Structure 1
Amino acid sequence: MFKNITALVPSKKKVVFLYAFLSFFIIFTVFTLGLYLSLLNDLDNRTNVAKNALSDRMNAIFTELKQVVNDSSLSCEKADITRLRRATFYSPIFKEFGLFNSEFIVYCSNLGTTNIKIYDSIASRITQSMGRKTVSLVNSNTLGESTFFAFYQRDDGLGVNGLAPPDKIAASVDQILLPDYFYELTLGKQILFSNSNDIDSRVLGNTEVSLADWSMTLAVFFPSSLYWRHLWSLLPFIIVCWVLLSFVFYVGHLVLVYYRRSLRHCIKRAIKNNTMEVHFQPIVSLTEGGFHEMEALIRWNSFRYGQVSPLVIVDMADRLGLIDHLTWMVIRKVGDFYREYPEQLRHIKISVNVDRHSLLKEGFASDLAEILEEYPELKGRLGLEVTETSVLDAAELPLMVSRFEHIKALGVSLSVDDFGTGYAGLDFLRRFPYDTLKLDQIFIASLKDDQFTRQILTSVTKLAKELNMELIAEGVEHEDQLNAVRELGVDRVQGYYFCRPLPKEQVIAWFEENASP
């Protein structure tokens, strides 16, 4: 069986490989998805920045046009032409300026006197626009290519137009978007500038913004080549994070294994899975014709820790808040014991140790009643042994008396265990309705040689008889101890002299061999 269990445990190499693969999957997923979302966010941010830069460029264009027209008149003399040429020379954008009148006829330009009629559609947009300004994209004889035109007209009808190559308008966008992103800038339905035809990979995303005042639309594209370039640059960092996460996972695995193999976790799991055993130690009646009894004792042989001390189990269960679970588990196993051997256990009572703090809980008696309903075999034959490890305060005293009365009303007997080692004193016995008093083995061990101990136990024995309590001497291991407790009048004995705690099958065999005292 152990070989099969060991075979189910993954080897160290398999664990390392598993966590390395899991770490790589997580790191790769986080980085690839995170990079994609980051670049999409960067695409949106830089597109908005480009939009603002383009808007600033357009505002600067019309500020320049206003300055030119404010310095001009309806004449086209040599001074006017020189002024236009000077304005062109210092302009960062425009290659030519032209002046037009209220009839929308360009009468003067850098080249001299002209007579060019502005398209009616453009003239209409100028008169209908807010601020009497507009832009257009038309072919120019001067530049010999598709040219960007900007128009502005004063209230008195004198206007100016500027001619510029489209790439001058797009220069502000280039500085923000290139070389990472490709874009297309349209004016109305015409393409003002575009490098989208140069995209050499798949488009992973795109965004589009509009400049309504200028009838412009800026569409920006996110190419897969940008994504892979960034991912490749992150490769060293990905490898470092992969190694670190693999290490964290493996250390976490070792911590988890250590915890799962710890005594604390093993006891918790054994209690919850109901895998602990219960052994039974006979309590021998020294009275002729009297019936023997038993005490149920928890035992656990751990696969990892071997035989674990019951004191350790009880202490750990108390720390884990599972002491009640442990108690109910033992009582149910006692109930199962009665069901399995109804004839052999017909006249035998079995006692179970219970923590005093459990008795103080409000729901203890009701939970016990439910178990008695589940196991009717326990009624009249179950006993609870209470160990006093701490003194009761003024609030706990009446509460404990009430709990004891309720428990006894259920047909469950009560014993005070390890009397003399805790806070249980003579006055304590008078306050609580115990049925049995168990003398601790410490007294029994020194009973023969210690006269003071003998005097104490003589007084305790006398008091117990006055209170109609039965006496049990624990820890009787030698014949002289047995004779000493007989002299005290103790009629029930528990200890290795007669029998150690045994599994249920063995204790049944012992009872069959020792049917009569």
Structure 2
Amino acid sequence: MLRKLSALFPSSKQVLFSYVFISVTCSILLFSLGLYFYLLKDISTRTDHAKAALASQMEAIFVELKSIANDADLSCDADSITRLRSATFYSPTFKEFGLFNSDYQVFCTNLGPRDFKIFNSIAQRIEASPAHRTVSLVKSHTLGDNAFLVFYKGEKGIGVNGLAPPKRLGNYVDRWLTSGYAYQLTLGKQMVVSNSADIEGSILDKQVRTLDDWAMSLAVYLPERYYWQLYQSMWPFIFLSSVFLFVLFSVLHWSFLYYRRSLPQCIKRAIQNNAMEVYFQPIVSLDENRTHELEALIRWHSPYHGQVSPLSIIEVSERLGLIDELTWMVIRKVGMLFRQNAELLKDIRISVNVDRHSLIHEDFAPTLAKVTDEWPELKGRLGLEVTETTALNSIELPLMVSRFEHIKALDIRLSVDDFGTGYAGLDFLRRFPYDTLKLDQIFIASLKEDQFTRQVLTSVTKLAKELNMEVVAEGVEREDQLEAVRELGVERVQGYYFCRPLPTDQVLEWLMAEQARKSRL
């Protein structure tokens, strides 16, 4: 069991400690920030719901008062008192009801006849209200404390007032706010109800909602202590999250190491089994009277690693010493394409990328000769693209010249690929008998805007033509780049503007469509 775990998790103590530290830190930050932003959203949502509940209850209160006013008259007989007592008994809010006349004189309550006048300030607010209603907070002898009073004046001139303990209004707020939130409900500047006499300590957030129709304001507070109470209760989850992240990081680390270690073996088997695909990207001739060319590009979808980058394939092949085998595999696939589609490809040339160090090997040219004998269709139609990534030393220089002579003798065309990004310069072009010069896409991308690049490429293009070299512009993706290339005098273009790299069946369809198009011209 221990051996299995040691194979799964990183063995290095430093890596192990790093994953523990990262896992714990990420979990703490994740839960700290997550709880904070959750509470900010939660307090806002709950405050909105509490406000809506209060507003709904206030509307229900006035519906209740309106019903009493419609059934009332200016008498305070036994029936009137009975109706008020019945309304009080069934009311979810009020402890006392009273009736007042058009002069705002209270003449009857559920406790019996009364005779006192409502404050002028309250009467003025009732008259000023379009719905003839208002609220107030006064000292109540009945409740022995502050009382919440609601007033409504009916259409018949008879008004109703209801007296309720402020705590009843707090019930509608409590339904939506948990005990950790503090709140204060005020009427004007007077406190109606609060679940905290004094908001102590730091406050992380405060939400305020107003009920303008009632001159009421609800303030809800998020105390810092409530945040820490909840945070402390989450420690078991933080611990579990840390364990999960540690396992996740460890598995990802192990998977990455396994990927790095297994990818070379998979690439090796794919090369040996001839399992990689070759895609072809057209090199389009801007002269309608000339045929197009193709560049062969390696592609591979591993059953274990998915789509593997061509750069990764080349890098691993070089590291394993399999770059030559990769090159021969691609060239043989090109030969197979020529053999199976002889009529369609009779005038088409196809180029293959080759590593410069492969060319220097003593057995490269003889092996290439054997391959062309095996696939005679390649003679005169195969091209090798060479990228100059490093400078040639005094030993490599004469070897390269000799290898080029042998290759040219096999009727194989040579191209300098990605010109301008490596060590290939103007003197390099004079020294080596290349047939084609390919301008790197980096220069094509900035050709329209960069005057210096334009001048350099103009000189390079002119020199290439003087040396009887064809010029190909790589990476042409837009109309303006194509026009700039035309102005340079470049007649062959490669890039997504015309066509992306295609698998064999699709590139054959593309060539047939092009031949059909030219035949119609």
User: TM-score normalised to the size of structure 1?
Assistant: 0.56
Structure 1 residue 196, shift from structure 2 partner: 2.9
The AA in structure 2 aligned to 1:216 is: M
* 1:80-479 aligned within 5 A: 80-197=80-197, 199=199, 201-261=201-261, 264=264, 308-312=321-325, 314=327, 324=353, 326-327=355-356, 332=388, 336-338=392-394, 349-351=402-404, 364=417, 371=424, 373-375=426-428, 378-379=431-432, 409=468
Q: Distance in 2 between matches of 1:354 and 1:245?
A: 57
Unmatched runs of 5 consecutive residues or more in structure 2: 1-9, 268-314, 334-350, 360-385, 437-463, 471-521
d(CA) in 1 for partners of 2:422, 2:469: 7
Q: Distance in 2 between matches of 1:108 and 1:363?
A: 109
Contact 2:153 2:160 in 1 (8 A): yes
Look up the equivalent residue of 2:393 and give its one-letter code.
Answer: F
Aligned-pair CA distance for 1:205? 1.1
1:44 correspondence with 2:100 = no
| Aligned twin of 1:471 | none
Q: Is contact 1:206–1:220 with CA below 8 Å preserved after alignment?
A: yes
State whether residues 430 and 467 of structure 2, in contact with CA within 8 Å, keep that contact through their aligned partners in structure 1: no
Residues 488-515 of structure 1: CA deviation (Å, up to 9, x unaligned): xxxxxxxxxxxxxxxxxxxxxxxxxxxx
- Structure-2 separation of matches of 1:122 and 1:372: 96
Distance 1:148 1:316, change over 3 A: farther
Give distance in 2, aligned partners of 1:140 and 1:367.
94
Amino acid at match of 2:181: Y
> Counterpart amino acid of 2:321?
V
Which position in structure 1 is the counterpart of 2:336? none
**Residue 95 and residue 306 in structure 1: after superposition, are their counterparts in 2 closer, same or farther (change >3 A)?**
closer
In the TM superposition, residue 167 of structure 1 has moved relative to its aligned partner by 0.5
Q: Secondary structure at the match of 2:102?
A: coil
Q: Secondary structure at the match of 1:177?
A: coil
Q: In the TM superposition, what is the alpha-carbon distance from 1:143 to its structure 2 partner?
A: 2.0
Alpha-carbon shift at residue 365 of structure 1 (Å): 9.8
Question: Structure 2 CA distance, aligned partners of 1:111 and 1:194?
Answer: 29
CA distance in 2, matches of 1:333, 1:48: 66
Asked whether the equivalents of residues 207 and 221 of structure 2 are also in contact (C-alpha less than 8 Å), the reply is yes
CA pair 374-22 structure 1, distance change in 2 beyond 3 A = farther
How far does residue 325 in structure 1 lie from its aligned partner after superposition? 7.3
Q: Aligned-pair distance for 1:377?
A: 7.9
Provide the residue aligned with 2:476 in structure 1.
none
Q: How does 1:2-21 map to 2 (within 5 A)?
A: 12-21=12-21
Counterparts of 1:257 and 1:240, CA distance in 2: 26
CA deviation after TM superposition for structure 1 residue 178, in Å:
3.3
Tell me the equivalent position of 2:78: 78
Aligned counterparts of 2:227 and 2:421: Cα–Cα separation in 1: 68
Taking a change above 3 Å as real, the CA distance of residues 30 and 306 of structure 1, as seen in their structure-2 partners, is closer
Residue pair 1:68, 1:160 contacting (<8 A) in 2 also: yes
Between the two proteins, the alignment pairs up a number of residues equal to 340
Aligned to 2:460: none
* 1:98-137 per-position Cα deviation (integer Å, ceiling 9, x unaligned): 1111111111112322221111111011011121111000
Does the 8 Å CA contact 2:181/2:223 hold for their aligned counterparts? yes
| Counterpart code for 2:356 | T
Using the alignment, how far apart are the partners of 1:367 and 1:352 within structure 2?
A: 24
| C-alpha separation in 1, matches of 2:406 and 2:148 | 99
Q: What is the one-letter code of the residue matched to 2:153? A: Q
Equivalent position amino acid for 2:139 in 1: N
Q: Which amino acid aligns with 1:19?
A: Y
Deviation at 1:227, TM superposition (A): 2.1
**Where does structure 1 lack aligned partners over 5 or more consecutive residues?**
1-9, 268-301, 385-404, 412-517
Deviations 1:401-458 (A, max 9, x none): xxxx9899469xxxxxxxxxxxxxxxxxxxxxxxxxxxxxxxxxxxxxxxxxxxxxxx
Give the drift of 1:360: 8.3
Q: Structure 2 CA distance, aligned partners of 1:138 and 1:228? A: 39
CA distances 1:233-292 after superposition (whole Å, capped 9, x unpaired):
33333222222222221222223334445665999xxxxxxxxxxxxxxxxxxxxxxxxx
Provide the C-alpha distance between the structure 2 equivalents of 1:368 and 1:145, rounded to a whole number of angstroms. Answer: 89
The 5-angstrom pairing of residues 472-487 of structure 1 reads: none
Change (3 A) 1:354 1:39: farther
Task: Classify 1:30/1:361 alpha carbon distance in 2 versus 1 (closer, same or farther; 3 Å).
Answer: farther
Structure 2: distance between partners of 1:36 and 1:354: 71
Q: Structure 2 CA distance, aligned partners of 1:205 and 1:99?
A: 44
Contact 1:44 1:207 in 2 (8 A): yes
Q: Distance in 2 between matches of 1:202 and 1:21?
A: 30
Q: Which residue of 2 aligns with 1:441?
A: none
Q: Give the TM-score normalised by the residue count of structure 2.
A: 0.56
Displacement of 1:314: 4.1
Does the CA-based 8 Å contact 1:317-1:326 persist in structure 2? no
Q: After superposition, give the CA deviation of every residue in 1:23-78 in whole Å (9 maximum; x if it has no partner).
A: 22222212211111111111111111111111111112111111222221111223
Letter in 1 for 2:120: D
Q: Decide whether the 8 Å contact of 1:263 with 1:305 is kept in 2.
A: no
Identity %: 39
CA contact (8 A) 1:349 1:383 kept: no
The aligned amino acid for 1:122 is I
Verify the 8 A CA contact 2:81 2:111 in the aligned structure 1: yes
Residues 254 and 165 of structure 1, relative CA distance in 2, 3 Å threshold: same
Given that residues 65 and 160 in structure 1 are in contact (C-alpha distance below 8 angstroms), is that contact kept between their aligned partners in structure 2? yes
| 1:143 to 1:407, Cα distance in 2 relative to 1, 3 A | same
Residue 183 of structure 1 contacts residue 194 of structure 1 at CA under 8 Å; is this kept in 2? Answer: yes
Q: Give per-residue Cα distances to partners, 1:356-389, cap 9 Å, x unaligned.
A: xxx8899749779993625368346x899xxxxx
How far residue 213 of structure 1 moved from its aligned partner, in angstroms, is: 0.9
The answer as to whether partners of 1:148 and 1:166 remain within 8 angstroms in 2 is yes
Q: 1:349 to 1:104 in 2, by over 3 A?
A: same
Matching residue of 1:454: none
